[in-house]
Amino acid sequence: MRYVSTRGRSPSVGFVDAVLAGLAPDGGLYVPQAWPVFTHNEIANFAGRPYAQVAAVVLGAFAGDEVAPADMLAMCEEAYATFRHPAVVPLTQIGPNAFIAELFHGPSLAFKDVAMQILARLYDHILQRQGRTQTILCATSGDTGGAAVEAFRGRKSVRVMALFPEGRISEVQRRFMTAAVEDNIACVAVAGDFDDCQAIVKDAFRDDDLRQAVDLSGVNSINFARIAAQAVYYFTTAVALGAPHRPVSFCVPSGNFGDAFAGYVAKTMGLPISRIVVATNSNDILARAFSTGRYERGAGVATISPAMDIQSASNFERLFFEATGRDAAATEAAFNNFAQSGGLDVPPAALQMMQASFQGLSTSEDDTRATIAGMLAVTGQLIDPHTAVAVAALPRTSAPGPIVVLSTAHPAKFPEDVAAATGRTPALPAGVADLAARPERFDRAPADAADIKARLRAFAGV
Ligand SMILES: *Cc1c(COP(=O)(O)O)cnc(C)c1O
């Protein structure tokens, strides 16, 4: 399986190189040269199989002959054994034709664990084979850092430095990072906001000397392996609800568009999905793009679903590339334009193609809070604010048939906002109930790329 860049100026690479590189050298994102497709029977055969087995088949289709099937299965079994629920991603029913897929039973209580747990094992597997040690630098607005630290702590071939904006993430989010005692993990509280942290990471990646010296790598959602790993739960949940014999729709709380794009990948691979509803909070760049074709940065606002406070959704470039019939020149021009002017126009034919699969809907803060309270009243279930943004969109969707909301975080990850909406404070699950009592370990740094890069060298011992 070869991977090509959405901007068409980098040579194609294999699965292993696409995973370790993250971003393509021409600034584009890697996608498979041709999408693997499962037959009706192959999909029907997923019914009743353990999650890890389906994951190994789906990921195996993307890895081709670069990872031995037995190794892939062993890694998937280990990765999903870390989840607190034997179904890994269990389904609950919230209405006559509405369901919730709980993606938050992993170690850090957010859906990022689903991809990060297998990604860490893939990294270790590949790097040990190559006799190499890499350094991962990641900026987090909350959940990615915790998932990365949980997945990579103690691994031999990888060290991780996580940058987070001091005072701008929840205490539970911070403690999932800072409680790690392993010395291949370094957490740095940056005196700035998430954009400052992300700018420092980009600066580090542009520094060729540093990149080589520490063998720098990245695990944000531009990494194709994360998308591939997220396609898996579309298969398992849709099949549990009757696919491939009947189509299913999904409603996805969205920020960087990785999760919703993974649904499109599953659909392209043969899974009958009627609609993917892209649910956003008031940061509605995606919802506007799908209704008008104008993809334009707005003024960023802070919401109670902070993991979706995003003004540019990296993975939209992958969809643009697909929707234009893989026109790399048009994709490059559009996203250069977006970088310079903050906006781009989706060509009419491409918009039509997007609208055949996607519907974008934005939910207000008031509606989000009312939905958290309403879910408790109607089903007795506490949901987190990100999930509530999607549940609130359900009455407005045009999706026919059964629809599944992807629940992306455990309510205990956002206890203050859930308590404010319902009067009930969600409890942390067993195993992490003592999180607030664990000692924290982190450094503080100014929002200065030179400072962080010096720390990164020292951390890598070069
Ligand atoms: C990251 C995240 C999202 C957004 O997912 P994208 O793939 O960036 O669209 C939604 N909810 C939670 C809780 C998250 O951590």
Q: Which CATH number covers residue 389?
A: 3.40.50.1100
Classify residue 311: in a domain, yes or no: yes
| For residue 244, cis peptide bond before it (omega within 30 degrees of 0) | yes
Residue 324 clears pLDDT 90, i.e. is over it:
yes
Structure tokens at 403: 């629809």
User: Which residue has a Cα nearest atom 8 of ligand 1?
Assistant: 256
Query: Residue 1: its pLDDT value, please?
Result: 92
Whether residue 258 has its Cβ less than 6 Å from ligand 1: yes
265 domain residue, yes or no: yes
Cα 10 vs. chain centroid, distance in angstroms?
24
Rounded to whole angstroms, the Cα distance separating 449 from 447 reads: 7
Ligand 1 centre distance from Cα of residue 258 (Å): 8
**141 pocket-lining for ligand 1 (C-beta < 6 Å):** no
240, 246 contact by CB (below 8 A):
no
In this structure, is residue 279 part of a structural domain? Answer: yes
Cis before 446? omega within 30: no
Q: Which two tokens stand for residue 324?
A: 């234009």
Pocket test for ligand 1, best of 119, 254, 280, 387 (most atoms within 8 A of CB): 254
Q: Does the C-beta of 409 come closer than 6 Å to ligand 1?
A: yes
Confidence band of 202 (pLDDT split at 50, 70, 90): confident
User: Residue 84 domain-assigned?
Assistant: no
CA of 255 to the centre of ligand 1 (A): 6
CA 449–ligand 1 middle distance (angstroms): 26
Ligand 1 site, residue 112, Cβ cutoff 6 A? yes
CB 413 within 8 A of CB 170: yes
Q: Are strands 98-102 and 91-95 parallel, antiparallel or unpaired?
A: antiparallel
Distance 388 CA to ligand 1 centre (A): 13
208 alpha carbon – ligand 1 mean position (Å): 30
Q: Which of 112, 267, 413, 453 is catalytic?
A: 112
Residue 379 lies in a domain: yes
Whether residue 29 lies inside any domain: the answer is: no
Helix axes 51-63, 224-240, angle to 10 degrees: 140
Which of the four pLDDT bands, split at 50, 70 and 90, describes residue 377?
very high
What is the token pair recorded at 413? Answer: 């990850």
Instruction: Give the mutation target among 230, 233, 256 for probing the ligand 1 site: most ligand atoms within 8 A of CB.
Output: 256
Q: pLDDT tens, 26-39?
A: 989 999 999 999 99
pLDDT higher than 90, residue 454:
yes
pLDDT at 21 (0 to 100) = 85
Cβ–Cβ < 8 Å for 371, 388: yes
114-123, 152-161, 168-177, 453-462: the lowest-pLDDT one: 168-177
Q: What value does the mean pLDDT take over residues 176-199? A: 92
Establish if 364 belongs to a structural domain.
Answer: yes
Rounded distance between C-alpha atoms, residue 69 and residue 416, angstroms = 44
Domain count, the chain: 1
Instruction: Categorize the per-residue pLDDT at 310 as very low, low, confident or very high, splitting at 50, 70 and 90.
Output: confident
Quote the radius of gyration of the chain (alpha carbons, Å).
21
Per-residue confidence band for 61, with pLDDT thresholds at 50, 70 and 90: very high
Within-domain flag for 372: yes
> Distance of alpha carbon 310 from its chain centroid, rounded?
13
Query: pLDDT tens digits, residue range 285-308?
Result: 999 999 999 999 988 888 999 889
Q: 97: burial class by Cβ within 10 Å (0-12, 13-18, 19+)?
A: middle
112 annotated active-site: yes
407: containing domain: 91-106+224-422
